């Protein structure tokens, strides 16, 4: 079992947030053009107030029931994205609380979005750019069909590259997603985590999903 992150300190999180923004600028990007999403899967509900105090505005949750509970406990404190594997039966549960669902990757989820969403509901489609067996995400050639059939507004793409020994090894996957998004005029690119976000930023990420880089003292 993964240990929950407790004992967060607002000044440390704020310092890490400022450091990440400085690193984004050093990578040649305007920090205002890269949204820093705090992944809160392992952050208990009672610790979320520390994130708000530290200046975190955008958060992402992997589990529908936890997203609902946390969003209801902190109304108006954050903008929420759903970043976990989206099951079609959970679509109705998360829609009232989120800005984006970042992980649409099945026909059944699209069907449920058509039933419970509106044409203004905004989602990202998860793409398995590396072609990993058993991993969620559609294959790149499937994207045009998904875009044509989408009953909601597709604003971008998301990917999780394979685990790699170095951040640089993820570059080609991030570049592939960027090229795919550009081909279909999709503005949002959600890619990069604490281990490789600077490579993702260099390749055009507009959203990076961070955990350790924000929460740990002395994180880098």
d(CA 62, CA 80): 11
Name the burial class of residue 187, with classes exposed (0-12), middle (13-18) and buried (19+) by CB atoms within 10 angstroms of its CB.
exposed
Q: Is 125 helix (H, G, I), strand (E, B) or coil?
A: strand
130 pLDDT band, cuts 50/70/90, is very high
List all residues 6 or more positions away from 102 whose beta carbon is below 8 Å from its beta carbon.
60, 81, 82, 83, 123, 124, 126, 158, 190, 207
pLDDT above 70 (res 16) = yes
**What domains are defined for the chain?**
10-214 (3.20.20.10)
The candidate with the shortest Cα–Cα distance to 24, out of 12, 34, 14, 13, is: 34
pLDDT, average across residues 123-144: 95
154-213 pLDDT, tens digit each? 999 999 999 989 999 999 999 999 999 999 999 999 999 999 999 999 999 999 999 999
Global pTM reads 0.96
Per the CB < 8 A criterion, the answer to whether 91 and 114 are in contact is no
d(CA 218, CA 220): 6
Task: For residue 5, report the phi and psi dihedrals to the nearest 5 degrees.
Answer: -90, 115
43-64 pLDDT, tens digit each? 999 999 999 999 999 999 999 9
């Amino acid at each position: 079992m993964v240990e929950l992150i407790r004992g967060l300190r607002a000044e440390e999180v704020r310092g890490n947030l400022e450091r990440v923004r400085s690193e984004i600028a050093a990578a040649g990007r305007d920090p205002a053009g890269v949204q820093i999403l705090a992944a809160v899967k392992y952050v208990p509900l009672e610790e979320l107030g520390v994130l708000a105090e530290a200046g975190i505005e955008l958060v992402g949750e992997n589990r529908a029931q936890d997203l609902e509970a946390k969003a209801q406990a902190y109304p108006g404190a954050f903008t929420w994205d759903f970043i976990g594997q989206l099951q079609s039966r959970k679509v109705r549960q998360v829609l009232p609380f989120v800005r984006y669902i970042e992980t649409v990757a099945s026909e059944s989820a699209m069907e449920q979005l058509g039933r419970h969403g509106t044409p203004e509901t905004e989602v990202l489609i998860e793409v398995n750019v590396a072609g990993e067996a058993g991993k969620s995400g559609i294959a790149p050639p499937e994207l045009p069909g998904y875009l044509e059939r989408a009953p909601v507004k597709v604003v971008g793409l998301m990917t999780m590259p394979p685990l790699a020994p170095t951040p640089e090894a993820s570059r080609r996957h991030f570049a592939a997603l960027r090229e795919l998004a550009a081909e279909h005029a999709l503005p949002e690119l959600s890619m990069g985590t604490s281990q490789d976000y600077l490579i993702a930023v260099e390749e055009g990420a507009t959203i990076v999903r961070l955990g350790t880089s924000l929460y740990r003292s002395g994180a880098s």
